């Protein structure tokens, strides 16, 4: 680890740690490993243009700037390696609880969503220069509003008040370690599919108003999710086209 890897900017509040990091990247002031955390965000961003709301001081909100060593065509593989690393840290920490990754990269603890990952890429021409990996993890919340029946926190799952900064440091080291390792796309996909949420089980999917059941088979390195439909056809879903509905 170099000195620049260690730079950690701790904010009280910001619109979005991803935006803050992206601004530094655009200003040429960011480097591999630079990490931004905040105790709360007033414009937290989720996947697919959704908002990410937090309870101040109760969530891990972090963005880490990484320089992926993969072609831009391997964006999903990069995202899968990040989600797997985060989930494995939580699995070690939560011992007997079940931690899974719901395609593409929701962090599921005991069948509910405890966190999510938003990766935003900085490109120069067609070169993938940086990725901003944003992680939001519910740590200390004791409850969630009724309109979020599928949300959970590490506290709800374990009954314990875990230390947000300790988790941040573990996640950070694991993500920095990813870039130091030789990249094996099959190994990354195998590790991801090993903890894929509801693998082998029927799930509800949707597109527009239409919903249907299909069995989750596996994710592929192009980011598609392979499923078997009720009439026994194999289909490949693309995130953003088909959505996976929480039940
Ligand atoms: O599940 C999702 O939709 C992804 C949520 C990602 C939220 C994190 S919180 C830290 C970083 N800053 C943001 O604005 N978003 C990510």
Tens-level pLDDT at each residue, the chain (247 residues) = 454 446 999 999 999 999 999 999 999 999 999 999 999 999 999 998 999 999 999 999 999 999 987 888 899 999 999 999 999 999 999 999 999 999 999 999 999 999 999 999 998 877 888 999 999 999 999 999 999 999 999 999 999 999 999 999 999 999 999 887 778 999 999 999 999 999 999 999 999 999 999 999 999 999 999 999 999 999 999 998 999 987 7
CA torsion sign for 54, 59, 63, 69 is negative
- Superfamily the domain 4-194 falls into: Bira Bifunctional Protein; Domain 2 (3.30.930.10)
Three-state SS at 47: helix
Q: Which residue from 16, 38, 45 has its CB within 8 A of the most atoms of ligand 1, so it is best to mutate? A: 45
Whether 235 and 226 have beta carbons less than 8 Å apart is answered as: yes
Range list for CATH 2.30.30.140 in the chain: 202-245
C-alpha torsion 170→172→173→174, nearest 10: 80
Three-state SS at 157: helix
Ligand 1 atom at shortest distance from the alpha carbon of 105: 1
Q: Which residues surround ligand 1 with Cβ inside 6 Å?
A: 16-18, 41, 44-47, 50, 52, 61-63, 106, 116-118, 134-136
Ligand 1 centroid to residue 134 C-alpha, Å: 5
Ligand 1 centroid to residue 234 C-alpha, Å: 32
Measure the CA angle with vertex 83, ends 80 and 86; round to 5°.
150
Ligand 1 atom at shortest distance from the alpha carbon of 106: 1
Ligand 1 centroid to residue 38 C-alpha, Å: 12
ipTM of the complex: 0.99
pLDDT at res. 231: 94
Residue 235 belongs to what H/E stretch?
A: strand 234-237
Taking CA atoms only, the protein residue closest to ligand 1 atom 16 is 134
Nearest to 203 by CA among 183, 187, 182, 225: 225
Architecture of the 202-245 domain: Roll (2.30)
- Other Cβ atoms closer than 10 A to 11: 14
Range list for CATH 3.30.930.10 in the chain: 4-194
Three-state SS at 187: helix
pTM for this model (two decimals): 0.94
Three-state SS at 186: helix
């Amino acid at each position: 680890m170099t000195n620049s890897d260690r730079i950690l900017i701790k904010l009280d509040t910001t619109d979005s740690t991803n935006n803050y990091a992206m601004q530094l990247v655009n200003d040429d002031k960011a480097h591999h490993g630079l990490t931004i955390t905040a105790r709360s965000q007033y414009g937290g961003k989720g996947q697919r243009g959704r908002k990410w709301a937090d309870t101040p001081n109760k969530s891990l909100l972090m963005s880490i700037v990484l320089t992926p060593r993969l072609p831009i065509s391997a964006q999903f593989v990069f995202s899968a390696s990040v989600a797997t690393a985060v989930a494995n840290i939580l699995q070690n920490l939560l011992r007997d609880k079940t931690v899974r990754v719901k395609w593409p990269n929701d962090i599921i603890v005991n069948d509910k969503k405890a966190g999510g990952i938003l990766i935003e890429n900085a490109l120069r021409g067609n070169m993938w220069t940086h990725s901003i990996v944003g992680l939001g993890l519910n740590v200390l919340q004791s409850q969630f509003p009724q309109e979020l029946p599928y949300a959970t926190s590490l506290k709800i799952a374990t009954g314990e008040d875990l230390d947000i900064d300790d988790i941040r440091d573990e996640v950070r080291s694991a993500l920095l370690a990813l870039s130091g390792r030789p990249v094996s796309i099959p190994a990354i996909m195998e590790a991801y599919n090993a903890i894929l949420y509801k693998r082998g089980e029927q799930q509800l999917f949707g597109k527009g108003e239409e919903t249907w059941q299909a069995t989750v088979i596996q994710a592929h390195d192009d980011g598609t999710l392979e499923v078997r439909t009720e009439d026994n056809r194999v289909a490949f879903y693309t995130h953003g086209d088909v959505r996976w509905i929480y039940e």
